[in-house]
Chain A
Amino acid sequence: MTKASVVNDLVVRFANVNGTGSASANGFFSKAIFRMGIPVSPKNIFPSNIQGLPTWYEVRINENGYLGRRDDIDLLVGVNPHSLSQDIASVRSGGYFVYDSSKKLHGEFLREDIHYIGIPMMQLCMDNFEAPRQQQLFKNIVYVGALAALLDIEMEVIQGIIREQFARKEKLIPPNFLALDLGYQYARNHFECPLPIRVERRDKLGDQILIEGNAATALGALYAGATVAPWYPITPSTSVVKAFEDYAKKLRVDPETGQKKYAVIQAEDELAAMGMVIGATWNGARAFTATSGPGVSLMSEFIGLAYFAEIPVVLVNVQRGGPSTGMPTRTQQPDIFSSAYASHGDTKHVLLFPSTPAECFELTAEAFDLADRLQTPVILMSDLDLGMNDHLSPPLKWDDNRRYDRGKVYTAEDLEQIERYGRYLDIDGDGICYRTIPATHPTKGSFFTRGTSRNEYAQYTENGEVYVRIVDRINKKWETAKELVPPPVRYSDQHRSAEGVIFFGTSTYSALEAIDLLEQEGIVLDALRIRALPFNREVLDFIEQHERVFVIEQNRDAQFRSLLVNELEVSPKQLIKVLNYDGFPITADAIMTQIKSHLSVKTNGIR
């Protein structure tokens, strides 16, 4: 081979037409890379419609485990005639364009600086399959076969995946194998295989899994004992409750009676979904709902009720591009404010920021304990990228000794010991009071829950002094929460630099890559990943220890940075925005460019 080959470091993009069955073929591709022990990160880029518009599936393969999005596309499989010119333009110079050569490619599509690999996908299918639907579907498998030859993917691995996939529809296995082989042989016979960009088996993954964040979130809720799950469909949160129900059907049905130990209700809207959650948790069950930005807006009145009446709520917010309907199928982190301060009046809520599926699982389970412990809404801040794409993740873990922390709840026996029960009496001094569940005791412990001001005995009052006492006591829970929420993650023990970086959620992937690459260029940065609001002491310490802190996030207005300023009363000048909000996951490139632009400003200033 003459050209130096690049192994296990490439971005492959598939350009498909929505609704043509490409999703499963593309999934086989990623799974095969995964099974070859190579870090892989696929991303769906899909339109807000059901059939006919372009969709892309972008797979980053990186031996070093850098799995954030990268811009330069090394190889593009373009099977959508409507996005051809756009797709061809997106291939990096020197890259490869794989296309269906059943029809000749028009001259206008030819670029001098990229390689064209024509595979007659449709022709091969027409020659080998009869039904038009089959011809269409197997076209996708043909290109997977061609890629196996071009990129040196192990055929047995792909065959194994196909065999598993169709274990219950065995007669589909031979035609899939045939299609796979058609592509493979054609590529071998017509091109020099493998290409200089290729993959090679490694053992980099250990016990990791490849899973969507939403599935992990659903499992977190299931393991945490959620029983009531009211919801209203909205991308990208829909698959949370869908997965919850799918797993519950398998794992939460009484074997003797067939009765369900869960209740999933498709509500009439998000208001009703949140009302049902509140009713259920008020009545002692664990309940949750999942939504996205527009749903959070609708739920806001109820979130304020839960905050003020002190009712546990778990809300999963899988964020997408706003405002309004915005970019409903693109990723962003634009609901920091609307979630942190959801509702009217003085309200603020506990937020949790997972950055991997394993954390979606853990933090969702944690959210139920926190909500019960603090008797307040807890919002899990996921996003479309994390929720709807497969991510490499440590396996999900559950400690069988773990007990649910249901917080301060009086039992009938407790009530027997009490002279006079006061729902809002702060007996322990941590701001958290003892609640009772309806029907606990025939004559003791009942109280009236309301969103209006009330005294310690849950009686309505308009007395200003009492009101202040109550809202200040609720605020005390915020202080208590700082000790309970998951602490931030620091990426080195020592303080190595005058500059720090703060990030959270899905920006983590590219942030860590950017920090590594900058370090290779001699720019050292300390890093802190935040996992929760309220911010605890460590966050403030980190900011105070650094002259400047770059805050990486995916929205226009640097909402997280404002949250830091507002909650920690640090100087805005100290916090520098690093942003991306075009609907695609932030890239390491974007982060590096923005950080470097500030660093050069600084040197210019000194000069």
Chain B
Amino acid sequence: MTYIKPKFRHPGLPKNTLGYSRADYEGAISTLCAGCGHDSISGSIVQACYEMSIEPHRLAKVSGIGCSSKTPTYFLENSHGFNSVHGRMPSVTTGANMANRDLIYLGVSGDGDSASIGMGQFCHVIRRNINMTYIVMNNGCYGLTKGQDSATTDFGSVSKGGSKGLYQSIDLIGLALELGATFVARSFSGDKTQLIPLIKAAMSHPGFALLDVLSPCVTFNNNVGSTKSYDYVRDHIEATSVLDFVPEEEEITVSYPEGGSASVTLHDGSQLLLHKLSPHWDPTDRHSAVNRLQQAKKQGEILTGLLYIDPQSQDLHDIMGTYSKPLNSLQEEDLCPGSATLEKINASFR
């Protein structure tokens, strides 16, 4: 069932520059398990969109199938949403993006959805650099089908039933870097201060932005021995940086000590300010991101934060040279060559 929240909004609630309150970015009441990491991510999405003053109807949310893929019902009620089929969110989003290049596309997926059944589509959407934010709510298991191991279950990680992960896990971040993703970040559902600016940055990025968000499944994978439990993640987390997202119109107020900071200007003029916690790492250098990731892996750390960004990113529309107006807005005049042309075409077949 979908539980609808009461529409009443307190007149005194703070509003963003569009005049919307945070509640205007919420969705139906969640039906996920209490404490599920996915709900926290939904909360961060709401907060990020509210703070960025996104017009809700200019954003389209698309997901696959899984507990994670259900979440688009629980945020951004005034946005069109599409809960498609298991593992195929990337293709649906690609088609949607081709039809209208002007909207913001927010894709939501799970680790089963992306790293197993949807692995092919995950790889290819990266190659095409579709302008979208791709959030993987990564709990290292199949939540919706009751806790089976997924391809991101770490080798040796113990499941609730006591069995150990038998295979090497797929690191979606490492893979995305290999495949040429132009924005790669990891975060943790429990770390809103890190996650919210990352979501904002991802949505501002003119191309494919991957956010792999560790999101513990309290029901099936939060036990002792699991490497995707709240406790384990908190104990092993290591951030690349402290990040601030500063929209174009805002004055930059944060400042970081000299030396350890970097700033990246996005195409829309907004800025990413990074206070680097990892030495020998440059967020615009794919090589150093790969190295830093490998190093963290060796040390048993879960590396979070922005790992890599290509500020010069060109999305698929740029690459293909499609029309600057959305294709879905074109009418007969633009699309139909007419009968006189058809007569010429007929003549070429005589």
Contacts and interface: CB of A to CB of B under 8 A. Distances in A.
Interface of A: 34-35, 207-211, 219, 222-225, 227-228, 230, 247, 251-252, 254, 257-263, 265, 267-269, 271-285, 287, 301-302, 305, 395-400, 403-404, 436-443, 446-452, 459-462
Contact of B334 (A261, A276, A282, A398): A261
A279 B94 contact: yes
Given A227-B327, A265-B128, 10 more contacts: A209-B350, A275-B121, A279-B94, A285-B327, A395-B346, A439-B57, A443-B57, A446-B78, A450-B83, A459-B28
Interface in B95-151: 95-100, 102-103, 120-121, 123-124, 128
A280 B99 contact: yes
B342 interface: yes
Interface residues of B, number: 64
Interface string B313-349: 0001000111110011011101111110111011001
B73 to A, nearest CB: 6
Contacts of B4: 459
A268 B124 contact: yes
B92 A261 contact: no
Interface of B: 1-2, 4, 28, 55-58, 60, 62, 72-73, 77-85, 88, 90-100, 102-103, 120-121, 123-124, 128, 316, 320-324, 327-328, 330-332, 334-339, 341-343, 345-346, 349-350
A381 B228 CA distance: 49
Given A223-B337, A272-B88, A448-B81, A283 B323 contact: no
A263 B315 CA distance: 13
Contacts of B99: 227-228, 279-281, 283-285, 287
B339 A400 contact: yes
A31 B331 CA distance: 37
B120 A268 contact: yes
A400 B338 contact: yes
15 contacts: A35-B350, A209-B349, A247-B345, A257-B323, A263-B320, A272-B91, A280-B98, A301-B85, A302-B85, A396-B342, A438-B80, A439-B80, A440-B57, A446-B81, A462-B1
Given A275-B121, A438-B103, A448-B72, A219 B95 contact: no
Contacts of A269: 120
B83 A448 contact: yes
Given A228-B95, A228-B327, A283-B96, A446 B322 contact: no
A449 B92 CA distance: 12
Given A260-B323, A461-B1, A439 B58 contact: yes
Contacts of A398: 336, 338-339, 342
Nearest to B55: A442
A275 B335 contact: no
A438 B57 contact: yes
Contacts of A261: 322-323, 327, 330, 334-335
B281 to A, nearest CB: 32
Contact of A219 (B91, B100, B121, B345): B345
B82 A443 contact: no
A262 to B, nearest CB: 7
